[in-house]
Amino acid sequence: MRVQLSSGVRAATTAPSFLSAPAQASVPPRAVVREAGKSLAPRAALVAGLVGWVIFGSWEIAHAIASESEGALLATAPALVILFSAFVSSIAGFAFSALAGSALAYLKVDPFRAVQMMVLCSIATQLYAVWTIRDAIRWRPLLPMLVAGAATVPLGVWVLRHADALVYAAGLGIFLVAYGCMVALRRDRVAIRANAWWDAAAGALGGLAGGLAGIPGAFVTILCSMRGWDKLRQRAVYQPYILAMQVVAIVCLHWEAHARLAFEHDVNLVPYALLGAIGGLAVFRRLSNQQFQLAVSALLVVSGMGLLARVL
């Protein structure tokens, strides 16, 4: 009898948890709207600030267009290239330098200034992306990848400055195009288990490619896609890796070139990059995992084609 009473007491004590579920699920509509407004307010303020920055910093572009000068295209095109490249690359989180570098080379922008544009704008977009997904990033498992990549970036920069980098860039471009097409057409996906040695190898190859061709995220992105992770977990690995490798690459370029990188004239391109990144991340949030994998494959192909375009 005592056991029956205790079980009845337990049933009685557990009953309110079932009864309270509908009460918790029923949230007042005003509270939902209030919470949505709180989450959207900082983003709206950021967009408004960037638009104001674009308007304030576009005096040179507007003056060139109004005067119908020959430099109108040269003043306008880089901003549009940065905006488009940031938007497309932010959908999957990489390939900004491949897109922007090919377009700026076609526009015959000075190579040194083109590198400055891409470095400054790419770091801005990566910082925004890393901040956006900061809750999903786990820094401790990234250490083997980051250490190996930081060790090989100087080698890539040295090859870029002292060896025939065109051969290596062409080989990397062919590999990325072939691999991206293979992944896009393959239906059976075999997931590999996480391993620190694989992470270090991908990080080392990414550091070499980053110093050599400005594409540090290609190999790490490939490794993440082979593990069968969801889109946020993949991005939480290679997004901070790319940002770290870009910072290391800046230091190495400054050391090798023995020159001070001056970004004063390219700061006005940053809001275009950030506006593109905001739009690209908005598209990313609406993608399914399968659609995200297709986007990654497409950008791997684009990265390879961008390298080949610069070589040819």
Q: What is the DSSP string of 128-160?
A: HHHHHTGGG--SGGGHHHHHHHHHHHHHHHHHH
Which pLDDT belongs to residue 150? 94
Which pLDDT belongs to residue 237? 94
* Rounded alpha-carbon distances, angstroms, from residue 199 to 195, 205, 216, 221, 284: 6, 10, 14, 11, 25
Which pLDDT belongs to residue 260? 53
Which pLDDT belongs to residue 241? 95
Using CA atoms, how far apart are residues 234 and 94, in angstroms rounded to an integer? 12
Using CA atoms, how far apart are residues 290 and 174, in angstroms rounded to an integer? 24
Query: In this predicted model, which residue has the larger pLDDT, 292 or 192?
Result: 292
Place 305 in a pLDDT band, splitting at 50, 70 and 90.
confident
Average pLDDT over residues 56-79: 61
Using CA atoms, how far apart are residues 100 and 240, in angstroms rounded to an integer? 20
Place 62 in a pLDDT band, splitting at 50, 70 and 90.
low
Using CA atoms, how far apart are residues 107 and 246, in angstroms rounded to an integer? 24
270, 171 in Cβ contact below 8 A?
Answer: no
Place 6 in a pLDDT band, splitting at 50, 70 and 90.
very low
Per residue in 248-287, pLDDT tens?
Answer: 887 887 776 655 555 666 777 888 898 899 999 999 999 9
Query: In this predicted model, which residue has the larger pLDDT, 12 or 162?
Result: 162
pLDDT at 210 over 90: no
103, 79 in Cβ contact below 8 A?
Answer: no
pLDDT at 152 over 90: yes
pLDDT at 93 over 80: yes
Which pLDDT belongs to residue 194? 73
pLDDT at 145 over 80: yes
